[in-house]
Amino acid sequence: MTELPGLDLGRVAAWMDRELPDVRTGELDAAIIQGGKSNLTYRVTDGQHVWALRRPPLGHVLPTAHDMSREYRVISALDGSDVPVASAVGLCTDLDVLGAPFYLMSYVDGVVFDRTDTLAALDHDSARRLGEVLIDTLVALHRVDPDQIGLGDFGRPAGFLERQVARWHKQWQASETRPLPELGKVVDALRARRPESAAAGIVHGDYRLTNVIYGADLTRIAAVVDWEMATLGDPLTDVGLLVVYHQLAEQQELTMPMMRPADGFLSADQLAARYGKSSGRSVDELGWYVGFGYYKLAVIAEGIAARHLQGKTVGAGYERFGSIVPALLNQALATLEAS
């Protein structure tokens, strides 16, 4: 059995035998799935079957974040809907197994575009299609009626935007590595300019190119993954953050692999326009949501930087996240002032 940080396969095997009898047919082996800077995901196999295992990060964990039960509940509810997800297999809340909750789901074969060189190999038509399918799947998610799939109590849409600003401010305070005056200015601007929420729906919370698995022919998404921040609320927060990721990807490849419109990829503005047309939702006030997206990403990056300073990250590239936080906050403020 391969031993990896945060994963004791002997304990996982014993849990599977106890809670999921007849699922495991052989000794387990595993590897860390690359990509993602938050929850840890492993490919686990018994030689005959393959699963994906998700658990919280090691070390510093932000309050209310990395809720495995919420992730497990939402993919269970969406299974069979118009939103493609991995099939839920089993949830473990017994901390004696891995020291943190975790869950197993089916392993979805497909293509994850998390490297610039992989994206650079695409022709213009394929590059454009990636963005079109990405937006169309997000529209499908936001069309799902939460009550119809048992998620009517999954969140509190009333006052959602106000609570989100406050929640991420608390997350900052819990992981701050150094004081930055820009943070307070952004929070004040978000509160002063907050729009009326759009009609509520299921919010993914971190929807982006690298959190989906494409089918081999790139005409569909085989699974949307990383549901750790999912809730009920204003769907435009998903759109605003997606715009942020694509604006950054047009310039550099730290938070995302590079995707330039000159190479065929949809621009951030084109993504937003396609969403508005397909969903029927107004994107007139999207500027606030984009500013909020930069703010949220800055807080997430600060949390990653805090875990890296504690020596609790698994993989490479984490040392760069602290340095981008001030620029993200400045961009949030500039976007809000211009909106």
Q: How confident is the model at residue 37 (pLDDT cuts 50, 70, 90)?
A: low
Tokens of 67: 């809720």
Q: Over 80: is that where the pLDDT of 38 sits?
A: no
Q: Over 70: is that where the pLDDT of 61 sits?
A: no
Residues 133-157: tens digit of each pLDDT:
999 999 999 999 999 999 999 999 9
Q: How confident is the model at residue 60 (pLDDT cuts 50, 70, 90)?
A: very low
- Name the DSSP letter for residue 81: S
Tokens of 137: 């799947």
CA distance 132 to 266: 8
Q: What is the pLDDT of residue 321?
A: 84
Residues 316-334: tens digit of each pLDDT:
666 788 889 999 999 999 9
Tokens of 242: 């997606």
Percent of the chain with pLDDT over 90: 81
Higher pLDDT, 259 or 321: 259
Q: Over 80: is that where the pLDDT of 255 sits?
A: no
Q: What is the pLDDT of residue 63?
A: 46
Domain annotation for the chain: domains and CATH numbers: 9-106 (3.30.200.20), 116-338 (3.90.1200.10)
DSSP string, 6-40: TB-HHHHHHHHHHHSTTT--S--EEEEPP--SSSE
Residues 290-303: tens digit of each pLDDT:
999 999 999 999 98
> What number is the average pLDDT over the span 162-166?
97
Q: Over 90: is that where the pLDDT of 39 sits?
A: no
| Least confidently predicted of 68-77, 169-178, 217-226, 253-262 | 253-262
Helix (H, G, I), strand (E, B) or coil at 225: coil
Q: What is the pLDDT of residue 59?
A: 63
> What number is the average pLDDT over the span 109-117?
93
Q: Over 80: is that where the pLDDT of 64 sits?
A: no
Other residues' Cβ atoms within 10 Å of the Cβ of residue 337: 12
Structure pTM?
0.91
Q: Over 90: is that where the pLDDT of 5 sits?
A: no
CA distance 161 to 231: 12
Contact 39, 66 (CB under 8 A): yes
CA distance 160 to 137: 23
